[in-house]
Amino acid sequence: MYDKPTIETYLRNYTTLSTAIIAGCDEEHHIAKMDLDRALRKLQGFSYNLYATLIGVFVYGNPIQEQAKQMKVSKRQIIRRMDDGLHMLMMIMNGDVL
C-alpha cells in the first residue's frame, strides 16, 4: 500500500528513480516506478491540471508561487491541486481507482 508521503518522495526523486531503474536497482523500486508511471498517465487523462501541478512542483521543482503564475491561479489553488493530485495518485496506485 502506498501513502501520500511515499508518493511525494517518489515524485521528488523521479529522475533519480528513473536512473536507478536503468542501473539495475532492486525490484521494489522498479515496481514503484512502473506503478507511478501508470498512475501519472491515468491522472493526466483524468485531470491535466492536477497532473501538471504535480509534475511542475515535485518533479521539476518549481516553487509554488512560480507554478501558480505559470498556471494563472492562486498559490492556494496550487496547494489544493497538489493535495488532490497526491490523493488521486495514491488511490490509483493502490487500485482504488481503475
The closest alpha carbon to 97, from 31, 47, 28, belongs to 47
Residue range 8-61, pLDDT digits in tens: 999 998 888 777 655 566 777 788 888 999 999 999 999 999 999 999 999 999
Residue in 27, 16, 37, 22 with CA at minimum distance from that of residue 89: 37
Q: Where are the domains of the chain?
A: 4-93
Give dist(CA 76, CA 98) in Å, integer.
Answer: 29
Answer yes or no: is pLDDT of 4 > 70.
yes
